Amino acid sequence: MRILILSLLSLIILFSCLGRLALIDPDESRYAEAAREMKISGDYIIPHLNFTPRTNKPILFYWLILVSYNIFGVNEFAARFPSVFFGLILIFSLYFWVRKEIGVKEAFLSSLILLSTPIFFIVSRLAIIDMVFTTLVLLSLFSLWGSLRDKKFLMLFSLSLGLSLAAKGPVGLIVILLTALVFSVLEKDSTIIKRFFHPPAILTAIIIGGSWYLLLLNKIGWVEFKNLFLQETLGRFQGGFVHREPYYYYLPVILAGFLPWSLFLYNFKKINFKNRFVKFLIVFILVTFSFFTFCKTKLPTYILSLFPVIAILVSSIVVKIWNQKRKETWAFFLVFSSLVIVLLLFPHQLWKPLTSLAIKKISLFLMFVSLPLLFLSKFKMKIQFWYLMLLPFSIYYFLILNFGDDFSRYRSCKNLFKNENISQDEIYTWNFFEPSIVFYSKKKVKELSNLENFEEEYLIIKKEDWASFAKHKLSSIAVSETDKYYLLKILP
Q: What is the pLDDT of residue 356?
A: 45
For the cut 90, the answer to whether the pLDDT of residue 334 exceeds it is no
For the cut 80, the answer to whether the pLDDT of residue 245 exceeds it is no
Domain boundaries of the chain, sorted by first residue? 2-320, 328-410, 414-490
**Over the stretch 293-333, which tens digit does the pLDDT of each residue have?**
988 778 889 999 999 999 999 999 999 998 888 877 888 88
- How confident is the model over 64-93, as a mean pLDDT? 95
Cis status of the peptide bond prior to 260, with omega within 30 of 0: yes
pTM of the shown model: 0.91
Instruction: Show contacts of 394-402: CB within 8 Å, 24+ apart.
Output: 394/369, 395/365, 395/366, 395/369, 396/118, 396/121, 397/16, 397/17, 398/362, 398/365, 399/362, 400/17, 400/20, 400/21, 401/17, 402/358, 402/361
368 neighbors 312 (Cβ within 8 angstroms): no
What whole-number distance in Å separates Cα of residue 312 and Cα of residue 485? Answer: 45
Q: What is the pLDDT of residue 159?
A: 95
pLDDT band at 226 (very low <50, low <70, confident <90, very high): low
**Over the stretch 137-187, which tens digit does the pLDDT of each residue have?**
999 999 999 999 888 999 999 999 999 999 988 899 999 999 999 999 999
pLDDT band at 26 (very low <50, low <70, confident <90, very high): confident
What whole-number distance in Å separates Cα of residue 488 and Cα of residue 476? Answer: 6
157 neighbors 338 (Cβ within 8 angstroms): no
Average pLDDT, the chain: 86
pLDDT band at 233 (very low <50, low <70, confident <90, very high): low
For the cut 50, the answer to whether the pLDDT of residue 260 exceeds it is yes
Highest mean pLDDT among 7-11, 26-30, 80-84, 210-214: 80-84
For the cut 70, the answer to whether the pLDDT of residue 399 exceeds it is yes
pLDDT band at 363 (very low <50, low <70, confident <90, very high): confident
**Over the stretch 431-449, which tens digit does the pLDDT of each residue have?**
889 999 999 989 899 988 8
Instruction: Show contacts of 213-222: CB within 8 Å, 24+ apart.
Output: 213/58, 215/45, 216/45, 216/46, 216/55, 219/45, 219/46, 220/46, 220/53, 220/55
Which is more confident, 19 or 355?
A: 19
Residues 6 or more apart whose CB falls under 8 angstroms from that of 446 comprise 426, 427, 428, 429
Percent of the chain at pLDDT exceeding 70: 93
Which is more confident, 238 or 21?
A: 21
Highest mean pLDDT among 146-155, 368-377, 397-406: 146-155
- How confident is the model over 126-147, as a mean pLDDT? 95
Q: What is the pLDDT of residue 281?
A: 95
Q: What is the pLDDT of residue 335?
A: 81
What whole-number distance in Å separates Cα of residue 195 and Cα of residue 151? Answer: 8
pLDDT band at 131 (very low <50, low <70, confident <90, very high): very high
Q: What is the pLDDT of residue 17?
A: 77
For the cut 80, the answer to whether the pLDDT of residue 92 exceeds it is yes
Amino acid at 258: F
Q: What is the pLDDT of residue 169?
A: 86
Q: What is the pLDDT of residue 145?
A: 95
What whole-number distance in Å separates Cα of residue 358 and Cα of residue 405? Answer: 13
Amino acid at 267: N
State the CB neighbour count (10 A cutoff) for residue 294. Answer: 10
Residues 6 or more apart whose CB falls under 8 angstroms from that of 463 comprise 481, 483, 484, 485, 486
Amino acid at 384: Q
**CA separation, residue 42 to residues 35, 48, 53, 127, 295 (Å):** 10, 11, 13, 21, 36
**Over the stretch 378-398, which tens digit does the pLDDT of each residue have?**
888 888 899 988 888 888 888
Query: Out of 17-26, 110-119, 299-308, 432-441, which region has the weakest mean confidence (pLDDT)?
Result: 17-26
**Over the stretch 266-284, which tens digit does the pLDDT of each residue have?**
888 888 888 899 999 999 9
Query: Out of 14-18, 165-169, 371-375, which region has the weakest mean confidence (pLDDT)?
Result: 14-18
Q: What is the pLDDT of residue 331?
A: 81
Q: What is the pLDDT of residue 369?
A: 87
Residues 6 or more apart whose CB falls under 8 angstroms from that of 266 comprise none
What whole-number distance in Å separates Cα of residue 114 and Cα of residue 482? Answer: 35
